[in-house]
Amino acid sequence: MYNPQLTVEKIKKMCEIKNISLAELSEACGLNKNTIAVSANSKTGLSAKILIDVSKYLGCSADYLLGKTDSPTEIVENCSINNQAQNFQGNQTNVVQAVSTQRDSMKDEFMQAFDELPLADKVEVMSFAMQKMKKGA
C-alpha cells in the first residue's frame, strides 16, 4: 500500500544525503515549492510522473521512494511490467520511463564502483562480463 508520508520522508532523506534542498528539487522537477511537503498529508500522494522525475533527479530508484526497498539503488524485481502498468494507470510512456530510470540508476552505480577498482579487478570484471555475454549469445 502506498504511503505518501513514507515517500516524502525518503525524498527528504535523499535530499539531505545529496545536499539538495526541497526547493531546489521542486524547481528542478518543475513542481510548486510546496508540492512534495503537501503530498505527505494527502490521500493520493505524488503522481507516478512526479515520483519518476524526483527519483531520476535524486539518482535513486522509485522503489526506494515508495518504500519497497531500503536501498536507494535496489530495484524490486518481482514486479512485472503488468503490475507497473496498473500502478501507472496504463500509461505506457510512464512505465517505459520508470524502467529506463531504474536501469540508468543501476548503470551509474556500477560505473562509479567500476571506476574505483584497481586495474587487475577491472580486467577480472570485464572477463566475467564477456563470459556472461558469450553464454547468452
User: Is pLDDT of 25 > 50?
Assistant: yes
| pLDDT for position 74 | 59
Residue 92: all three cell numbers together: 505506457
User: Is pLDDT of 30 > 60?
Assistant: yes
| pLDDT for position 79 | 47
Mean of per-residue pLDDT scores for the chain: 77
User: Is pLDDT of 76 > 60?
Assistant: no
From CA 16, how far away is CA 128, in angstroms rounded? Answer: 36
CA distances from 60 to 51, 54, 65 (A): 11, 9, 8
| pLDDT for position 103 | 62
User: Is pLDDT of 92 > 60?
Assistant: no
Q: Are 88 and 98 in contact (CB under 8 A)?
A: yes
| pLDDT for position 88 | 46
Mean pLDDT of 115-128: 83
Q: Are 63 and 102 in contact (CB under 8 A)?
A: yes
User: Is pLDDT of 45 > 60?
Assistant: yes
What CATH number should be reported for the domain holding residue 25? 1.10.260.40
Domain count for the chain, please give it: 1
Q: Considering the entire predicted model, what is its pTM?
A: 0.54
Full domain range(s) for residue 66: 4-136
CA distances from 86 to 2, 26, 44 (A): 13, 26, 15
